[in-house]
Chain A
Amino acid sequence: MESLQMLYTGFAVCLQPQNILYCFVGVFVGTMIGVLPGIGPIGTIAILIPTTYNIPPVSAIIMLTGIYYGAMYGGSTTSILVNIPGEAASIVTCFDGYQMARQGRAGPALGIAALGSFIAGIIGVMILAFLAPSLAGLATNFGPTEYFSLMILGLTLVTYFGSSSMLKALMMAALGIILGTVGQDPIFGRSRLTYGTESLWDGVGLIPVVMGLFGIAEVFVNIEEGEERQVYETKIKGLLPDREDWRKSAKPIARGTIIGFLLGILPGAGTITASFASYALEKKLSTHPENFGTGAIEGVAGPETANNAATMGAMVPLLTLGIPSNTVMAMLLAALMIHGIPPGPLLITRHPDLFWGVVVSMFLGNAMLLALNLPLIGMWVKLLRVPYKILFPLIIIFCLIGVYSLHSRVSDIIIMLLFGWFGYIMKKCEYDGAPLVLAFILGPILETSLRQSLIISKGDPSVFFRHPISLICLLLAFLFLLSPLVPFFRTRREKIVTGGMA
């Protein structure tokens, strides 16, 4: 009942003209970057964070959140029409979506992707609205011990779900923690690993790191490959799926919503895992699995629903516990902190206008996205035809603007370039950047929680095992870490990570 009253507050906040405008800007930009390969929501949010300095925090978060779930809608367009996913979460949509386009059924494919995403978005927001306050209430009982163990579990899950090689992901996570220690020690204030460099006294900036790893590195890889996209020349007609399409898609949409939301909550799992898991499940449950890969609409409906539901699920740990479950949430956490709003269990009670405004904005945003992605699909198709040789200089300039405008320091550009090269080499060696960024964000919280726990317990490490929540988290982390050593679980994990495609 209280949630319903607070939803009313959310509507009052969200329906202010300024917030409607920023919501539209967010979902529009999100769809655009979802359509355009080469830059994703992570880089875009990083670039746009400095532009939000002079706007109210609620509007800023509404816009930045809109970019995230908007990108999921946009990513399906390129998957279906070009067979190149605009977003990693839309990789599986290529398998059947492109085949449907080749059969002259691009319209129903695009339609079911948009409608499935809309349904998942609405249901996901409703679950978030009713689940989050209860979780936040529970989390007010968390102390440093619980937070430490939760971070350990979170980082373990990121490495478990996020990469084909868990060992490499763990190495990147360790590197991220090291990066997070650069700067001032959080308890004693002593300088660490700065080597007398003034620009490192406050630590390595998150935004130069993210833009380097996900923006500049991506440009390096793309210009090196030099491929141009071939847009499939087809007239897009009949955007609304027919009755038979709905009959086939109804259950995949329902299952995709649940799988996506649950996997979205788990750190590291996120939209990519959700879409792969949904595809694998639908193929397994189908009476005609041989149709998958040849234009089965279930292969579009399920994954596209799941990836949008995952974006809603990902908001849960961020808004209730202050723990980002993926790199995009880490960027939103950075945005909240820049605006002076520390995320955590008290966010809902201390800033109800922000929490409920953002939740309600997701209802509004999903409705706007339906309008953007169905009647205006022709506009996005035209955008697809812009050659990459025109796009990449724009991406570079946006990255430079985003990075320089933080502190007006040329050193941030150099850091971005260094991480660009690092990310470029790491992509060639098959190291994933996401564990590094998440560990970089969580590392300082992890360290503070660890040291506080040890100080409080007078140096007794068994404190982590005496608190029930901490014990459960550590046990789960331990099991996930060791599971790849067991062949049965190793096979299961590979199926989840690759969607059964390997």
Chain B
Amino acid sequence: MIARAGETVKKMKKSDRYTSVIYAAFGLYIAFEGYRLELGTFRAPKPGFMVFLAGITLWMLSMVQLILSFPAGKTEKQTTWWKDRQWQKVVKLTAALLLYASVLRWLGFLLSTILLLFVLFKGIEPQRWQVALGFSLITSVTCYLVFGVFFELRFPEGILETILIRMFS
């Protein structure tokens, strides 16, 4: 989110430590994978050359970040990531998207999108059900017509698409 004008952003040293450790481990792993792919020589670099270089670079930078993240005597103001945040909505949204991905090919674009939008309009930031249903239907059909018909993008077909195609052909 773009910060409101005038807000200052506080440094979070603890998160720097955690991310540094994760990145360092990842960098080392990638360097190992690069080594397994064959480094070659300077004269004839092989597929693992760049992978190894990038992995080692990430590892080195992470180690520097890790060292710098330890405070030099000063106490730091601890900021929690989740306090006063509605993180449950993020989890709900993720679950809805995963469900959408799993039913998309089976139900087709229109029906899955209507259902997803209804869940988003009603479940994440609750609206009246008439508003949620109305917006879901209008948005889904409009997207289908604009992107699927006008721009000719290929969407998975389900029962609603079959009905629409039969109606207009």
Query: A171-B58, A223-B86, A223-B125 in contact; A413/B97 too (CB < 8 A)?
Result: yes
Residues of A within 8 Å of B101, CB to CB, are: 410, 413-414, 417
Residues of B within 8 Å of A244, CB to CB, are: none
Per-residue CB contact flags for chain A residues 440-461 toward chain B (1 = under 8 Å, else 0) read 0001001100110011001111
State whether the Cβ of A233 lies closer than 8 Å to any Cβ in chain B: no
Question: Is there contact, CB below 8 Å, between A98 and B153?
Answer: no
Question: Is there contact, CB below 8 Å, between B85 and A224?
Answer: yes
Q: In the docked arrangement, what's the CA distance between A424 and B91, Å? A: 12
Question: Is there contact, CB below 8 Å, between B58 and A175?
Answer: yes
Q: In the docked arrangement, what's the CA distance between A421 and B114, Å? A: 24
Interface segment among A261-269, A374-382, A398-406: the answer is A398-406
Per-residue CB contact flags for chain A residues 211-253 toward chain B (1 = under 8 Å, else 0) read 0000000111111111000000000000000000000000000
Question: Is there contact, CB below 8 Å, between B9 and A430?
Answer: yes
Q: Which of B14-56 contact A (CB under 8 A)?
A: 15-16, 19, 23, 27, 30, 33, 37, 41-51, 54-55
Question: Is there contact, CB below 8 Å, between B51 and A193?
Answer: yes
State whether the Cβ of B90 lies closer than 8 Å to any Cβ in chain A: yes
Question: Is there contact, CB below 8 Å, between B1 and A408?
Answer: no
The count of chain A contact residues (Cβ–Cβ below 8 Å) is 77
Query: A83-B5, A225-B85, A404-B155 in contact; A188/B23 too (CB < 8 A)?
Result: no
Question: Is there contact, CB below 8 Å, between A393 and B139?
Answer: yes
Q: In the docked arrangement, what's the CA distance between A397 and B25, Å? A: 35
Query: A450-B45, A461-B42 in contact; A401/B153 too (CB < 8 A)?
Result: yes
Interface segment among A84-92, A332-340, A342-350, A471-479: the answer is A84-92
Per-residue CB contact flags for chain B residues 146-166 toward chain A (1 = under 8 Å, else 0) read 010001111110000000000
Residues of A within 8 Å of B133, CB to CB, are: none
Chain A residue nearest in CB terms to B8:
A502
Q: Which of A132-175 contact B (CB under 8 A)?
A: 164, 167-168, 170-171, 174-175
Query: A405-B153, A428-B81, A430-B9 in contact; A168/B94 too (CB < 8 A)?
Result: no
Question: Is there contact, CB below 8 Å, between A171 and B120?
Answer: no
Question: Is there contact, CB below 8 Å, between A218 and B50?
Answer: no
Question: Is there contact, CB below 8 Å, between B86 and A405?
Answer: no
Select which of A51, A446, A455 is within 8 A of B43 by beta carbon.
A455
Q: Which of A272-330 contact B (CB under 8 A)?
A: none
Interface segment among A6-14, A121-129, A177-185, A364-372: the answer is A177-185
Instruction: Tell me how far the C-beta of B107 lies from the nearest C-beta in chain A, rounded to whole angstroms.
Output: 13
Question: Is there contact, CB below 8 Å, between B2 and A408?
Answer: no
Closest 3 CB pairs of A and B: A459-B43, A389-B125, A94-B5
B residues neighboring A (CB under 8 Å) = 1-6, 8-9, 11-12, 15-16, 19, 23, 27, 30, 33, 37, 41-51, 54-55, 57-58, 61-62, 64-65, 68, 81, 85-87, 89-90, 93-94, 97-98, 100-102, 104-105, 113, 116-117, 120-121, 124-125, 127, 135, 139-140, 143, 147, 151-156
Q: A413-B101, A414-B98 are in contact. List 17 more A-B contacts (CB 8 A).
A: A164-B9, A181-B51, A190-B47, A192-B48, A220-B93, A222-B1, A225-B1, A226-B89, A390-B127, A396-B116, A401-B143, A405-B154, A408-B156, A410-B101, A446-B50, A458-B43, A459-B42
Would you give 28 A-B contacts (Cβ < 8 Å), ordered by A? A83-B5, A85-B2, A91-B5, A171-B58, A174-B54, A175-B23, A178-B55, A192-B37, A192-B47, A220-B93, A223-B89, A223-B90, A389-B121, A393-B121, A393-B139, A397-B140, A408-B156, A410-B102, A413-B100, A417-B94, A417-B97, A429-B12, A430-B9, A446-B50, A455-B45, A458-B43, A461-B42, A502-B8
